[in-house]
Chains A and B, each alone.
Chain A
């Protein structure tokens, strides 16, 4: 079967599309020549050029949301687009905070199920999705059993983003319509946390800490090593739950997926739910005082030792090289 057409929900930040948006566009193009992008809150020709570069021919541009949380108005506009333009074979949505909201709203509005947490999409005489389960030790393939638009929510880093040098996409306005009481949640103020280094998902080196650091103050060692290596600090869920670091630092099944060149796990046991978020790293280094910690089974270099002596020594060595 040829996939007739695909719509990709793309998100912009600071006037450019997010990495996951570009990954989805790049992959959609391999499945069908008819790719359209859907975005909101950006009336900017740069975006039309960028989606064009990545293979989309049309950009559906949704009205300004005026502070509404995106889930409801974007799903409402997509529903209206389906009525006016005809339904695509699939709608791909990034597994971001807003992407999940859009997918849930759209699913209930269209009465269509969702395949979520997807890491690959294949055309095997119909769209087939791949999902990692049990900490990535197994993958499952799934598909929809009926006709109708496939709503697919894709994890970051599932595909490689590559431009195609297409021409600028045709912009089509997409009205939101009346959203009723569901659209009543609004943003009154945004707080941006200053990032000093690279973003966790994009950093070439990630240094992550876990419960083995002992307490909140132990995390300073992670911050310092990450800064010296020009990488990003990450965390296991145990210390996010304990409130040492914000959720945005969490790596794993319910956090971020990272694929850096080097991942350094410090005082992290290597639970399957953590490993699924980092096992795609090119090299893994682990520091753990338990020689039998599961993290060592996937590490290229394992140091059986105390983070409180190895990390300060490492900081010392890195400082002398500055």
Chain B
């Protein structure tokens, strides 16, 4: 399970799948600062077993392929049956990193899952498409990205919160993973060359509805000739 700060859906889904299979562990894996673990503690309080954080100053500026390499190295040490990722991350969303990770680990992947079940070691996923959804199956191990709303995340119980305090959080450095040159800004092969403020739209007219709101909308649509 790769943890994104905003991603309690994945944690919930992982917990439910482990429950249904009658046992197993949910490990959280995250790349980031080892000093900001509130999100991780929250997920441990929900019921995850343990966490691995890859934290290293040299990781600053790592691009998404570099991040995928770091996560792959951390996960490869102890290959799980299923890797769950959020479809989007709260930092620049691209939705590409999980697939890079799957390729590096030589796993099949199913992105944009809106429901996930495991049946006799076969993964069954309803995958969002432009026109509806596809039923997709895959053997395990496999990687899945979930869209928000896939399950209703539980609130941690008081007991869970207390238990989370003593659950193991392992902190790894880049050196521990045997990586060096491919990560961080040194390894990044793309750069930002310019930042510009865009011209913003300006506000037009604003009216308080006194029973005439709808008619104002109709008149506006008439003026711009869509009615």
Contact = CB atoms under 8 A, between A and B. Distances in A.
Contact of A301 (B130, B197, B205): B205
A321 B193 contact: no
Contacts of B112: 97, 247
B103 A182 contact: yes
Interface in A91-136: 96-97, 100-101, 103-105, 107-109, 111-117, 128, 131-133, 136
Contact of B128 (A140, A181, A188, A248): A248
A304 B94 CA distance: 35
Given A185-B136, A283-B224, A321-B227, A100 B111 contact: yes
A254 B88 contact: yes
Contact of A287 (B63, B87, B107, B213): B213
Interface stretch (B11-19, B28-36, B183-191): B183-191
A117 B88 CA distance: 12
A58 B82 CA distance: 40
Contacts of B103: 75, 104-105, 107-109, 182
B109 interface: yes
A188 B137 contact: yes
Interface of A: 13, 18, 69, 71-72, 75, 96-97, 100-101, 103-105, 107-109, 111-117, 128, 131-133, 136-146, 148, 153, 180-193, 195, 204-205, 229, 237, 240-243, 246-248, 253-254, 261-262, 264, 279, 282-285, 287, 291, 296-306, 309-311, 313-314, 316-318, 321
Given A13-B131, A143-B193, A298-B201, A247 B111 contact: no
Interface string B199-227: 01111111111010111111011001011
B189 to A, nearest CB: 5
Contacts of B215: 313, 317
A132 B198 contact: yes
5 contacts: A153-B94, A190-B129, A247-B114, A303-B213, A310-B217
A141 B194 contact: yes
A204 B226 contact: yes
Nearest to A106: B103
A184 B139 contact: yes
Across the A-B interface, the 7 shortest Cβ-Cβ residue pairs: A104-B99, A305-B209, A108-B103, A313-B214, A116-B94, A302-B206, A300-B204
Given A132-B198, A190-B129, A279-B201, 17 more contacts: A97-B127, A105-B100, A137-B197, A138-B197, A140-B195, A145-B189, A148-B189, A153-B96, A182-B107, A183-B108, A248-B130, A297-B200, A297-B203, A300-B220, A303-B213, A313-B215, A314-B217
B147 interface: yes
A108 B68 contact: yes
B130 A97 contact: yes
A145 B187 CA distance: 10
A310 B214 contact: yes
A251 B193 CA distance: 29
A187 B194 contact: no
A185 B126 CA distance: 12
B136 A304 contact: no
Contacts of B202: 298
Interface in B93-135: 93-104, 106-112, 114, 127-135
B142 interface: yes
A316 B218 CA distance: 11
A45 B133 CA distance: 28
B92 interface: yes
Contact of B203 (A138, A299, A316): A299
Given A143-B191, A262-B226, A107 B108 contact: no
